[in-house]
Chains A and B, each alone.
Chain A
Amino acid sequence: MNSMTILVADDDPVIRKLFEKRLSREGYEVTVAADGAEAARLLDAMVFDVVITDLVMPGDIGGIELLKIAKERSVEIEVIVITAHSSVDTAVDAMKKGAVDYLEKPVNFDELFLRLEKISEVKALMKNAGDLREAMNVTENSAAQTIQDLEIINSAHQQMLDRLEDLLGNHHQDEGSRIEQALQILENR
């Protein structure tokens, strides 16, 4: 029932394995990356709902950089950062830069699952709002075309009536020719 796709980036193979096992057991689709560079490549190739990343990883792409890359791919990707207890400040900094949440090591999986459920709920609400907006757009577009047609037709009729009024009220012409011209206007409509 958990249909979200999750990318886990952590350089520790034991932790990677643990994430993969626990998240899969909960029903999430999990992909793992051994460092930031591999995670960035995976973000290019696949679509993920959530990225869970260690803040400190070897190489040029650490957790903060990966957060930036993920958000550039799509603002809809939610990023959870994992941090050592001593570096909560960095985690807060990550949240300022757009991370949805942070977890301290060692990761409490029950806590993680709760956070993921919340993310899933928000995504479902967002999708629902998007669907409603889409339905509204379809209805609105269809109504707009009908209203436009009526507006133009009505305006043309109004202008024709104005001309007929002028013509029929013009006492400088005899009645016969006024009627003839009026009929002409009506025939050409």
Chain B
Amino acid sequence: MLKITPEEIKLITKYIYEISGIYLDESKKYLLETRLNAIAEEQGCSSYQDFHRKAKADASKLIERKIIDAISTNETLFFRDTGPFQLLQHKILPELIDARAAKSSFSKTNLKIWSAASSTGQELYSIAIVLQELLGDMSKYSIKLIGTDISDAAVAQASSGKYNKFEIERGLARDKLTKYFSSVGQTWKVNDQIRAMANFRKFNLMSPFIGLGKFDIVLCRNVAIYFTLEDRKKLFNKIADVLEPDGYLIIGSTESLTGICPRFIPKRHLRSIFYQLK
């Protein structure tokens, strides 16, 4: 395995920060080596300095994409942490649908939901399942579910809606599995009806939020933890800009906006917290 020197750690962590916003400190030597070694060897690099040079010089950005895929954490489950989904099902979605339906008595009820770090799609498909169960006949609604992630590989898997048995069997109740998925050998695939509700694309949360429009619900769970405090402040400020005045923000269950964005007020429902604009 290619060894990384202290100088190279500085070089590579700075590069990763520039391309992704993910901040790794010098204690992450092991993580760098284990996750990047395969790409460095595949590129025939003699050192991480060489690797850094090749990645920067690569006009196709293929190496950059591979590094992002390798370094971003895609640990996620269907209905990961039941809190937010109960919150959506019992409070947020009914409230929002009532409010939006009142505004659109002659047209379809609009709803726009953004999973800001959608990883391999489990979060957004879980929401699609909740919506399907809650609303039944979807023809009266115009619902946009948008998932974005910085990793091309994650976006591709999310769009395919295919999961292996390890990704599927935890978190997902048997009845939901048989109702919303079909299996081809060891692979499970989200049914077309659910899959068609969600759209995934690549997006870097460090970039300006232009052309996204406004959202009724934003989920930004367990991603800001990889950013610096300064970048977290910028991120949640930008999210505040794209949230409807009565919209909802859900962050990870162990995250906090204290000292990060004073524009949001935390509100508690049952055992979960959500945020709304002041």
Contacts and interface: CB of A to CB of B under 8 A. Distances in A.
Interface in B189-248: none
B186 interface: yes
A150 B271 CA distance: 14
Contacts of B266: 148, 151-152, 155
A13 interface: no
Contact of B185 (A95, A137, A140, A154): A95
A8 to B, nearest CB: 22
B133 interface: no
A62 interface: no
A98 B169 CA distance: 14
Interface of A: 71, 75-76, 95-98, 126, 130, 133, 137, 140-141, 143-145, 147-148, 150-152, 154-155, 158
Contacts of A130: 170
Of B185, B257, B265, chain A has the most CB atoms within 10 Å of the CB of B185
Interface in B258-273: 258, 262, 265-266, 268, 271-273
A76 B165 CA distance: 9
Contacts of A140: 81, 253-254
Interface string B180-192: 0001111000000
Nearest to A159: B265
Given A147-B253, A148-B253, A152-B273, 12 more contacts: A71-B183, A98-B186, A133-B170, A140-B254, A141-B253, A144-B83, A148-B266, A148-B272, A148-B273, A151-B266, A152-B268, A155-B265
Contacts of A145: 271
A150 B266 CA distance: 11
A140 B272 CA distance: 13
Given A75-B165, A143-B254, A151 B273 contact: yes
Contacts of A133: 170
A76 B81 CA distance: 22
A147 B255 contact: yes
B256 A150 contact: yes
B166 interface: yes
Given A130-B170, A140-B81, A96 B185 contact: yes
Residue of B186, B262, B265 contacting most chain A CB atoms (<10 Å): B186
Given A126-B166, A151-B266, A97 B185 contact: yes
A135 B170 CA distance: 14
B254 A144 contact: yes
Q: 5 closest Cβ contacts across the A-B interface?
A: A144-B253, A96-B185, A151-B266, A143-B254, A148-B273
Contacts of B265: 155
A76 B169 contact: yes
A24 B166 CA distance: 29
A76 B170 CA distance: 11
A98 B256 contact: no
A140 B165 CA distance: 24
A144 B254 CA distance: 5
A130 B184 CA distance: 24
A150 B258 CA distance: 9
A173 B59 CA distance: 67
Interface string B45-87: 0000000000000000000000000000000000001010000
Contacts of A152: 266, 268, 273
Contacts of A95: 185
